[in-house]
Structure 1
Amino acid sequence: MADQQNVARIVTAVSSVVVAVCAVVVTVKVAGADLDPADPPRVLDQTALEQQVANRLQGVREEPVGRVTCPGSVQVIVGNQFDCETWDYLKSAKVRVAIISDQGEIEVTRS
C-alpha cells in the first residue's frame, strides 16, 4: 500500500512538472508571436496610373494621347510589369509599364 502511494505521488509530481513546462512553452510562444494583422498589399491607384502613363507618352510623341486603360489593383512591387492599352482615334496600341521603385514610380515603353 505504501508503494502505491509513493508511485501516485511521483506520478502526480511528474505530471505537475510536465504541465508547468507546457504552460511556460505556450506562454513564450504567445509572447513572441506577431499578433499584428498583416498590412494589406499596396496597389497603384488606377486613375492616377492611367494619367501618369498618358503624361509620359505625351512627352515622347508629338500627337496627343487618347484614352489610356490600365489594369486595376496593380501591386507596388519593384520589377512588376504589366500592359496598358492606349487609344488614338480609332486605333489601339499597347505599352509596357514597369514599376521601378517601392514608391510606385513607373517606366513606360512601347510594346
Structure 2
Amino acid sequence: MTDQGKFARAVITLSSVVVAGCALTVTIKVMNTDTEAMYPPRLLDQEAVERQAAETVRGAGKMSRDGVSCPAAMEAKKGNKFDCDVQEGFNTKTVTVEVLDDQGRLSMNES
C-alpha cells in the first residue's frame, strides 16, 4: 500500500510540473505577442481627406470631391505623409498631407 501511495504522489508531482511548464509557456507566448498585429490600423476617412484637399486648393466652401484623388487606406499614424491630386480647371495640383497625431488631425500644403 505504501508503494502505491508513493507512486500516486510521484504522478501528482510530475503532473503539477507539466501543468506549471505549460502555463509558463503560454504566458511567455502571450507576453511576446505583437499587439499591433492583433488590431487593424486606424484608417483615415478617405472622403473627408479628399474634401479637405479640395478645399485647400479651391478655397473655402468648395469641398466637392470631383477631380480629387488620394490614396486609399491611409493610416492615421503620426508622421505619415502622402500626396493627393486635385483638378483645378485644366491643371492638376498636388496637396501634401501629413498626419499630425494618432487622432487623425491633418496638415495640408499645396505644392
TM-score tier by shorter-chain length is: 0.5 to 0.7
Q: For residue 27 of structure 1, what is the aligned residue in structure 2?
A: 23
Q: Name the SS for the 2:47 alignment partner.
A: helix
Give the stretch that moved more between structures: 18-27 or 30-39.
30-39
Distance 2:100 2:24 in 1: 41
Cα RMSD over matched residues?
3.5
Give a deviation string over 1:46-99, Cα, whole Å, max 9, x none.
Answer: 111101222233448xxxx96321111000100000010011111112121000
Structure number with larger C-alpha Rg: 1
Provide the TM-score with structure 1 as the length reference: 0.67
Mapping of residues 9-20 of structure 1, within 5 Å: 13=10, 17-20=13-16
| Paired residue type of 1:51 | R
Contact 1:66 1:89 in 2 (8 A): no
Q: Secondary structure of the equivalent of 1:75?
A: coil
Matched residue type, 2:76: V
- Letter in structure 2 aligned against 1:39: Y
Matched residue count: 98
Displacement of 1:38 in angstroms is 2.3
Identity %: 29
Alignment of 1:24-63 (within 5 A): 24-30=20-26, 33=30, 38-59=38-59
Aligned partners of 1:66 and 1:88 also within 8 Å:
no
In structure 2, what residue type is equivalent to 1:100?
L
Consecutive unaligned residues of structure 2, counting only runs of 5 or more, are none
